[in-house]
Each structure stands twice: as C-alpha cells, then as structure tokens.
Amino acid sequence: MTTVEKLKAILVKDLNLEELTPGDIDENAPLFGEGLGLDSLDAVELVVVVQKHFGIDIQNMDEAKAAFQSVRSLASYIEGRLSGG
Amino acid sequence: MSGPDRIVIEGIGAVGGFGCGISVLSRALTEASSSPGTFDLSTGSGTVRIPAFLADVSRLGEFIPVRTLRRIDRFSRLALLGSHLALADAELPEAERSRLGIIIASGYGATGITYAFLKSFISDGDICASPTYFANSVHNSAAAHISIQLGATGPSLTVTHFHLSVPSALATARLWLAEGRVQRVLFGAVDELSELIGYVRFRMRHAPPDTPMTPLWTEMETSIPAEGAAFLLLARESAARGGYCTLEASTTGSMPNSGVPFPEAGLLVLGADGCPESGGRYAAAAQNVRVACYTPLYGSMPSGPAFDVAAGALILKGGRLFPSPGAAFRDFPATVPAGGDPVGTDRIACLTLAEDNAYGLTTLGKLPDTACVRAREGRTSS
C-alpha cells in the first residue's frame, strides 16, 4: 500500500468521514475548505494522526501548513521525513 | 403545582431495542413484543455473543447532515436522535426553542468514547490523545451537542445518579420550570451499551441464554443489557401546545417502612429489570396495588425509568392499559391488569428501586380536559 493510499484510509477512519470511501478522495484536492472540507479541529487531529500512524512529530507550523495542502503533499512530507529529509 | 402551573409532557422521543419513535414504542407496548438482538464481546477467552437490546441511530440522518455527525460519538447520537424525535412529536416550531433548557440523565454516561480516549492515551501516549475523543468524553457533551444543533440557549445539565438518574433529573426539570428559568425543558435519559459496559454486564450479570426477562424473579439473573434514549419535552401547562399527561411529581428518598408513598387506586409501573437482588424488593412494593412492568420490551439499563414514564404517558393519553409482557410476573401473584383494559385511574407512578433502600418515584396525571381542548385549539391555529 502506498503512503497516499494508507493516508486516505486513515483519514476516512480516524476523521470519521463516514460518507466517503478512501477511493472517493482526490489526492490532489485541498484538505481544508473546498475539497475534502476539513477544518481547524481536523488540523489538530491530523497532527495526532501523523504522529500515531507514522511516528512523525510535526512541531513546525510552517512545515505543517505546506504539508497539509493535500493528501499528496502530506504523503510527500511523510515520505521525506521517514527517509531522513 | 396546579392549574396552569402544572407541567405537561408535550412530546416524547424514544429509541431503543424495540425500534425508533413513539409510534413504534406504542406498537411494541400494545403487542407486548420486542426481541433482543445480539452483542459481540471480546474477552480473554475469545469473542462471546450475548443477548442485548441495541438501538439503531440511522434515522438521525433525517435531522442532521452526516458530515455534521462525524465528530459526535454514539452516546451523543442516541441523545440527538431522542431529542429530535421528541421535538418532532411535539411539533415544536424552531422559533420556540430559544428558552429551552436541556437536561440529560444517564447511569453510565458516554463510556464508549471515554474509554476509547483513555485507551489511546495509554496505548499511544498523551501526545496522540485525540482532541475529538476528549471533547466527547466531557460529561455534559451530549447536552452541549443538542444545544448547538437545536440553537437552544437555555441552561444544560447532565445528571448521573445511577438507577435514580431519571427521577433526580426530572425533579430538576420541574424546578427549572417552576422557577420560570426556562420556557421548556427537553429532558432525556440516555445509556449506551459500549464494549466496556457489555463486558462488565457479561462478567457480573450473565443471564442464561434464551431466558426471557422475568423482572420479579429472585432466583436467577434474567436481565438483558440494553441501550437507548427516551426524551420528554416538558412545559408548564400555560405554555404547552398539547401533550400526553402531566408530570405531577418526581421524588427520590429512602423507602419508608409503610411501603411506596404512592396514592392508592392508581397504577404502579415497576422498573424491575431482571436483577434478582432487586426483584424481591419490587415484589414487596407491588403488594396490594395494580402493577405493570414493561422492561422486557426495552431491557435493563439505568435509563430504563424514562421508558417507563413514556409508557405511562401513552397509557394516560390513550386511556387503555398495555399488557405486561408474558414473563414479567411469572410466579408472582400481582394484580396485573390485562392489555386493553381501561386505565381506570387518573394517576400512574413509575417506581425505581436502587441500592441502600433508596427509591425514585415519578408520578404522572391525566391531562385535564380543559388543557386538552386548549392544546388542540393551539395546534389547529398554528
């Protein structure tokens, strides 16, 4: 399973996006506002989700802002951190 | 309280193992029929399946968008569904919701989300504790969700007094209305059958399989765990737009030696729920009075007395008694009216017995004809 696929499944389950399946999520669509429609509380949950499932602690909010643009950008950020970037 | 200061039950919302909605509850009561489903538990010796009365909350989608519900846990979903059903039953316009107080009664509270939060805390560390889980684990969160969704700006409160949660919370509701603190109170009793509660029930109160609930039987456990929500919309008679009956009193105390302090010639609805240690005490309280017991239709849970009140309200409104389910009074020589009999009284009391000889008693009265006429006129003109 790719990081993008894993992230989609995690988002649906951990953020309780009951009306969606992982396949419904456009990996390039914005996570917040239009697109997936997440909000500020979801941003906090996302920080927890990334820590819990990938062991990555996001403390730099500028980094988080860039990473949280879309599923694709978040997956790239995670892969970069896991590879020591 | 008397006259226009009487408190009226304007609407009822109920969801439980019998189904969803007051008409479904009424049908279950009329037919004296409701079968438990099953609940799978993870135990140290594998998965165990136990009988349980489980509620289906899928109708909540009729009232609230699915996306809005995603941060709301099962306990609060039960509460939201019950509250919306009660408001729909009372046909209360949105404009009249502003001075609405919310009171929730629960024996266990939101155990599912609370223990999920604690589990994440223990398993993954405090840094991974979900803020959403935490928010839902706060004791008054279900009342808050209801207030937010309904736009209610009155006070909200959650009362937990285990078996006496319902009569205690109803006493507070009466107080708020008597003080004029709110125009209406949306009272609801909620309990969820979480995995935790299911496990505790399985370990501590394991009834033999395929055994019907026999509430007054003292020889063995027959209780079947349950979940559900029963909501009542309450208003002073002067403001009420119709309703089922009056809420005359709701008290708690220690049982006097003389027995239940209940006016004679009425009907006593027993909250006995198949727990053998209380069955004998209920049997003693049921001597020399007309009794009914409907717990086998919705199961055993601390919020059960609110379903008893709903049943009593339906009886007083319809003027006819519901039969007590077949096994309710097995081997007990009680005066049990048959189903369909005229109610024969203007007053019904619902009795709950608790630990240490404590009791709760909620008394309902027939809605005066004048109030009924005024209510009908009000609804017709609205």
pLDDT digits (tens, 9 = 90+) for B126-154: 888 888 899 999 999 999 999 999 999 99
Beta-carbon separation of A51 and B127 below 8 A: yes
Give the total number of structural domains in chain A. Answer: 1
Q: What is the average pLDDT across B69-95?
A: 95
Beta-carbon separation of A44 and B131 below 8 A: yes
Within an 8 Å CB–CB cutoff, is residue B66 touching chain A?
yes
Helix (H) or strand (E) holding B326, with range, is none
Within 10 A of B238 (CB to CB), how many other CB atoms are there? 12
Within an 8 Å CB–CB cutoff, is residue A12 touching chain B?
no
| pLDDT single digits (tens) B169-225 | 999 999 999 999 999 999 999 999 999 999 999 998 878 888 889 888 888 899 999
Spatial contact of B193 and B48, defined as CB atoms under 8 Å apart: no
pLDDT of B27 > 90? The answer is: yes
Residues on chain A touching B66 (C-beta within 8 angstroms): 18-19
pLDDT of B361 > 90? The answer is: yes
Beta-carbon separation of A48 and B128 below 8 A: yes
Q: What is the average pLDDT across B341-346?
A: 89
pLDDT of B37 > 60? The answer is: yes
What's A24's domain CATH number? 1.10.1200.10
pLDDT of B253 > 90? The answer is: yes
Interface probe, candidates B60, B71, B113, chain A, greatest A C-beta count within 10 A: B71
Which residues of chain A register pLDDT less than 50?
A: none
pLDDT of B259 > 80? The answer is: no
Give the total number of structural domains in chain B. Answer: 1
- Residue B376 has what pLDDT? 46
What's B190's domain CATH number? 3.40.47.10
pLDDT of B333 > 70? The answer is: no
Q: Provide the mean pLDDT of chain B.
A: 90
Nearest Cβ partner for A15 among B69, B70, B127? B70
Beta-carbon separation of A18 and B132 below 8 A: no
**What is the rounded CA–CA span in Å between residue A52 and residue A49?**
5
**What is the rounded CA–CA span in Å between residue B276 and residue B41?**
24
Distance of CA B44 to the CA centre of its chain: 33
Spatial contact of B169 and B160, defined as CB atoms under 8 Å apart: no
Spatial contact of B237 and B3, defined as CB atoms under 8 Å apart: yes
**What is the rounded CA–CA span in Å between residue B70 and residue B66?**
7
Nearest Cβ partner for B70 among A17, A48, A51? A17
**What is the rounded CA–CA span in Å between residue B309 and residue B363?**
8
pLDDT of B265 > 70? The answer is: no
Within an 8 Å CB–CB cutoff, is residue A62 touching chain B?
no
Within 10 A of B277 (CB to CB), how many other CB atoms are there? 10
